[in-house]
Amino acid sequence: MKFFPKDKYLFPFIFIFSFLFFLAHIAYTKTALYSDTRFYYAYTRSLVIDRDILLTNDFQLLGIEPAINSEGFAVNTFPVGTSLFWVPGFWLADSFMKATQFLQSSSLIPSGFEIPYQIATAATNIFLGTLGLYLLYSLLRKYFSETIARLTAITLFSTTNLLFYFAVEPLTSHATSFFVSTLFVYYFLKHKKDKYYYLILGLLGGFAGLVRTQDALILVVPIIQIIVNSKTSLKFLVTNFILLFAGFLVGFAPQIFLWKLFFDFYYPPPGWGYGFTFLSPHILYVLFNRENGLFILTPSVFLAFIGLFSLFLRKWHIALFSLTYFFLQIYFISSWQEYFQGGSFSIRMMISSYPFLSFGLAEIMTDTRNRFGYKALYHAITLFSLLNFGLILRYLYIT
């Protein structure tokens, strides 16, 4: 038990550990701005430094050849939500940099690409991810013992690709995606249903889609709930569907605005990376391929998936919602033209399903504790954590 931090130390420890690991990584790589990160960063820099969304210069400075539309805008196909969450930290870094330049009487103007900007942005995402884990822990305490809830949060962080996207590459959308999805699940399960319940769920679903477009699929959960609870009340059905959809439109509005700006339409055409083959999904590849298969690289996710079936005996509604969202995400990702998730440690797009999967993980842990005791559970967590850390080191070495 002494190896696992208590509640008041656990989440500060996760933040500090992730932040220090990131600092060590960026000290080695000299920059965290590569791959998809650059497209999210371009939005944030443009909003804070240039105070516009004219991304041409941002793309060029990041080494991206911009695609310019007929109106002269550089097209960014990546969703804007993560970038908006980064704005406060980036602004603080910008204020610090400009104050430092003033005190030093320097005429140099910060570009927004210096290391302090990258560190502040990474710290924002690490904080959001850690906050998501805390919210999840708080929610799990309602259904499981306090110890199981704590161990589930630890296991989710240390044995899955959350560790990678918190500590190694936090300048991506995945920590933010995890936070928003957790906030959605937290509100969905814990909040008392008042007259604004479905409006707020719609708003949170809009934010989820704003961070990663496919995460808007999380709205299928309250949609099912509305249908089941409506019974013979047409008024209940229609009213709550309207509230849910209205909330979603408000939350997702910034992305709709940008799509209209970039594509002169309210959704990007398939030629811009949004092609799907829904009749021939690559489900087995996504789950079991040797390079980054979800169940191969993160076996604890497979155990969580199995645990959801066991959860049916106690909390069938949570198990049903969780499995529905998991299968829907798998089907959607497997049908996408980029289903192979190049450069991904495990299937990173599935991170938004972890808040639901955590209930299955907690159920598996409860069964393990009841059968073999806590000592066996601690050994298993340690083993899976070491395996995950080794796989991360292997990934970094070969890439």
DSSP 190-230: HS---TTHHHHHHHHHHHHHHHSGGGGGGGHHHHHHHHHHH
In this prediction, residue 265 carries a pLDDT of: 86
Residue by residue, pLDDT tens for the chain (399 residues) are: 445 556 678 999 999 999 999 999 999 999 999 999 999 999 999 999 999 999 999 999 999 999 999 999 999 999 999 999 999 999 999 999 999 876 676 667 899 999 999 999 999 999 999 999 999 999 999 999 999 999 999 999 999 999 999 999 999 999 999 999 999 999 999 877 788 999 999 999 999 999 999 999 999 999 999 998 887 788 889 999 999 999 999 999 999 999 999 998 888 877 666 688 999 999 999 999 999 999 999 999 999 999 999 999 889 999 999 999 999 999 999 999 889 988 899 999 999 999 999 999 999 999 999 999 999 999 999 999 999 999 999 999 887
In this prediction, residue 1 carries a pLDDT of: 47
**Distance between CA 236 and CA 241 in Å, rounded?**
8
In this prediction, residue 129 carries a pLDDT of: 98
Residue partners of 394: CB distance under 8 A and separation at least 6: none
Predicted model pTM: 0.95
In this prediction, residue 92 carries a pLDDT of: 97
328-358 b/e (C-beta count within 10 Å ≥ 16 → b): bbbebbbbbeebebeebbbbbbbbbbbbbbb
**Distance between CA 277 and CA 359 in Å, rounded?**
31
